[in-house]
Amino acid sequence: MNNLNDPPRWNIQPDPRGREGAAGDGNQWNYALLVPMLGLAAFRWIWTRESLKEIEKVKAQYDRDVCTIQSDMDARYRDTLTESRRAAATLELELEKERQRAKGYQQALVSHSQHLIQERKQMEQEREALNDQKHKFVKCGAAGTVLHDALEKENSWYLRAAAALKELEGLLVERQNAYCSVIHPRENRLEMERNILLKVVKDPVVADLDLESDLKDIFKRDKHCADLLNMDKRKNGSLMWVYLKYWQLQITMQKHKRAEDAVTEGKMQSLKK
């Protein structure tokens, strides 16, 4: 049969003269070319089938590798997402604790400030009562002269106590500035607090005011600081200024009380004589 896909000279042509008559014109070589062509076609078919098998095998392995990588990435993503959510929940819990702690400090500071204000009002009322009593003594002639002399004697103590409070005010301003500073070492501030406590304990002028417990309360609770651009140290602190006013009223009251005690003691000695 003729193969229409092959060149005409490759077709096997029947010889009308018979095999012997065609022996000399070369048509027998057509059969010799047919065998390599069939072998080549068979090789090509086998090679194509094996190549397809290899391609399918590689594609299947690629799909498996992609599936494995995707599964691994999904697992890592879920783990990372879980850890992130856990960390966010922990941070939110810590933030809420800090908010509650700050709120508690603020409420305690407000309550303590109100208590100090009430004590200040009470001391002012006592001072007014003492002033009224002083005026009564003044109106009594000789008794008024005695009270005036006693107040003059106690005035030197009052001036020393007021100077000590003024110095203490400066130390507290510096301490609060160190507390509010972002560059001031904490150890230096603690050293300043120890020196302040030691000073008020050793100073006999303010020994009767019991400043040690009040100072410890200031160091523990007064956390008020002005804004970062503030250049005035006296704008820092809140509770310490309430205490300073309270101490000033205390020494004023102590001055009158010491004078009254001196007058009363003088009267008792006169009665004994």
* Half-sphere exposure (Cβ direction) of 107: Cα atoms closer than 13 Å: 6
pLDDT at 175: 93
- What own/partner pairs with CB < 8 Å and gap ≥ 24 does 218-226 have? 218/172, 218/243, 219/175, 219/193, 221/105, 221/108, 221/109, 221/112, 222/109, 222/176, 223/105, 223/179, 225/176, 225/179, 225/180, 226/180
Q: Give the distance from CA 45 to its chain's centroid.
A: 75
Amino acid 159: pLDDT: 87
pLDDT the model gives residue 136: 67
pLDDT at 218: 92
The pLDDT value given to residue 14: 53
Averages of pLDDT over runs of 10 residues in the chain (273 residues) are 49 50 50 71 79 80 84 84 85 84 78 81 80 65 58 78 91 92 87 92 80 90 85 89 91 80 59 44
C-alpha span between 232 and 250 (Å, rounded): 28
A 10 A CB-CB count for 33 gives 13
Amino acid 112: pLDDT = 75
